[in-house]
Amino acid sequence: MPATETLLDHTLIALADPTRRAILRRLAQGEARVTELAAPFAISLNSVSKHIRLLERAELISRRRVGREHILSFRPEPLRAARQWIERQERFWAAGLEALDAVLTAEQDKED
Protein backbone atom coordinates (compact mmCIF):
# COMPACT_ATOMS: atom_id res chain seq x y z
CA MET A 1 0.00 0.00 0.00
CA PRO A 2 1.44 3.44 -0.90
CA ALA A 3 2.58 5.62 1.99
CA THR A 4 -0.09 8.24 1.32
CA GLU A 5 -2.85 5.62 1.56
CA THR A 6 -1.35 4.24 4.76
CA LEU A 7 -1.23 7.72 6.27
CA LEU A 8 -4.85 8.31 5.20
CA ASP A 9 -5.84 5.04 6.89
CA HIS A 10 -4.04 6.09 10.09
CA THR A 11 -5.66 9.54 9.95
CA LEU A 12 -9.17 8.17 9.57
CA ILE A 13 -8.61 5.62 12.34
CA ALA A 14 -7.30 8.38 14.62
CA LEU A 15 -10.34 10.56 13.91
CA ALA A 16 -12.77 7.71 14.59
CA ASP A 17 -12.46 8.04 18.37
CA PRO A 18 -14.04 10.91 20.37
CA THR A 19 -11.18 10.99 22.90
CA ARG A 20 -8.62 11.46 20.13
CA ARG A 21 -10.77 14.15 18.51
CA ALA A 22 -10.97 15.94 21.86
CA ILE A 23 -7.18 15.77 22.20
CA LEU A 24 -6.82 17.29 18.73
CA ARG A 25 -9.32 20.06 19.57
CA ARG A 26 -7.27 20.92 22.64
CA LEU A 27 -3.98 20.87 20.72
CA ALA A 28 -5.48 23.10 18.01
CA GLN A 29 -5.51 25.80 20.71
CA GLY A 30 -1.79 25.38 21.39
CA GLU A 31 0.87 23.04 22.72
CA ALA A 32 0.21 20.97 25.82
CA ARG A 33 1.95 18.50 28.10
CA VAL A 34 0.71 14.93 28.14
CA THR A 35 -0.53 15.34 31.72
CA GLU A 36 -2.54 18.43 30.71
CA LEU A 37 -4.18 16.50 27.89
CA ALA A 38 -5.04 13.62 30.21
CA ALA A 39 -6.62 15.79 32.93
CA PRO A 40 -10.17 16.12 31.49
CA PHE A 41 -10.57 12.40 30.81
CA ALA A 42 -11.81 9.78 33.28
CA ILE A 43 -9.28 7.27 31.94
CA SER A 44 -5.77 6.35 33.01
CA LEU A 45 -2.68 8.21 31.85
CA ASN A 46 -1.64 4.97 30.17
CA SER A 47 -4.87 4.96 28.12
CA VAL A 48 -4.34 8.59 27.10
CA SER A 49 -0.80 7.68 26.06
CA LYS A 50 -2.19 4.97 23.78
CA HIS A 51 -4.49 7.52 22.14
CA ILE A 52 -1.53 9.87 21.73
CA ARG A 53 0.53 7.13 20.06
CA LEU A 54 -2.26 6.59 17.51
CA LEU A 55 -2.35 10.32 16.82
CA GLU A 56 1.43 10.32 16.39
CA ARG A 57 1.23 7.35 14.01
CA ALA A 58 -1.22 9.38 11.92
CA GLU A 59 1.24 12.30 12.11
CA LEU A 60 -1.55 14.49 13.49
CA ILE A 61 0.60 15.49 16.45
CA SER A 62 4.29 15.91 17.10
CA ARG A 63 6.17 15.49 20.36
CA ARG A 64 9.20 17.25 21.75
CA ARG A 65 10.89 16.73 25.06
CA VAL A 66 11.80 19.49 27.44
CA GLY A 67 13.62 17.82 30.29
CA ARG A 68 11.23 15.19 31.58
CA GLU A 69 8.18 16.84 30.02
CA HIS A 70 6.67 15.74 26.72
CA ILE A 71 5.14 18.68 24.84
CA LEU A 72 2.67 17.87 22.08
CA SER A 73 1.66 20.01 19.10
CA PHE A 74 -1.07 19.69 16.49
CA ARG A 75 -0.07 19.01 12.86
CA PRO A 76 -2.93 19.79 10.42
CA GLU A 77 -1.31 18.43 7.24
CA PRO A 78 -2.82 14.92 7.46
CA LEU A 79 -6.28 16.47 7.89
CA ARG A 80 -5.76 18.48 4.72
CA ALA A 81 -4.83 15.30 2.86
CA ALA A 82 -7.94 13.53 4.21
CA ARG A 83 -10.11 16.49 3.20
CA GLN A 84 -8.67 16.38 -0.33
CA TRP A 85 -9.37 12.65 -0.57
CA ILE A 86 -12.97 13.17 0.62
CA GLU A 87 -13.47 16.00 -1.89
CA ARG A 88 -12.21 13.77 -4.74
CA GLN A 89 -14.66 11.04 -3.67
CA GLU A 90 -17.47 13.56 -3.49
CA ARG A 91 -16.74 14.83 -7.03
CA PHE A 92 -16.58 11.26 -8.35
CA TRP A 93 -19.90 10.26 -6.83
CA ALA A 94 -21.60 13.54 -7.74
CA ALA A 95 -20.60 13.06 -11.40
CA GLY A 96 -21.85 9.47 -11.36
CA LEU A 97 -25.16 10.45 -9.81
CA GLU A 98 -25.62 13.28 -12.31
CA ALA A 99 -25.04 10.83 -15.18
CA LEU A 100 -27.51 8.38 -13.65
CA ASP A 101 -30.06 11.15 -13.23
CA ALA A 102 -29.67 12.10 -16.89
CA VAL A 103 -30.23 8.47 -18.00
CA LEU A 104 -33.29 8.08 -15.78
CA THR A 105 -34.72 11.39 -16.93
CA ALA A 106 -34.24 10.38 -20.58
CA GLU A 107 -35.95 7.03 -19.92
CA GLN A 108 -38.86 8.74 -18.20
CA ASP A 109 -39.21 11.20 -21.06
CA LYS A 110 -39.42 8.26 -23.52
CA GLU A 111 -42.21 6.68 -21.46
CA ASP A 112 -44.24 9.89 -21.27
Per-residue pLDDT of the chain (112 residues; tens, 9 = 90+): 667 788 899 999 999 999 999 999 999 999 999 999 999 999 999 999 999 999 999 999 999 999 999 999 999 999 999 999 999 989 888 877 877 877 888 888 788 7
Q: Print the domain residue range for 24.
A: 3-111
Q: What is the pLDDT of residue 1?
A: 60
How many structural domains does the chain have? 1
CATH number at residue 94: 1.10.10.10
pTM: 0.79
Q: What is the pLDDT of residue 18?
A: 97
The answer to whether the beta carbons of residues 52 and 23 sit under 8 Å apart is yes
Q: What is the pLDDT of residue 2?
A: 61
SS3 67: coil
CB environment 59-72: b (16+ within 10 A), e (fewer): ebbeeeeeeeebeb
How many residues are listed for the chain in this entry?
A: 112
How far apart (Å, rounded) are the C-alpha atoms in residues 76 and 58?
Answer: 11
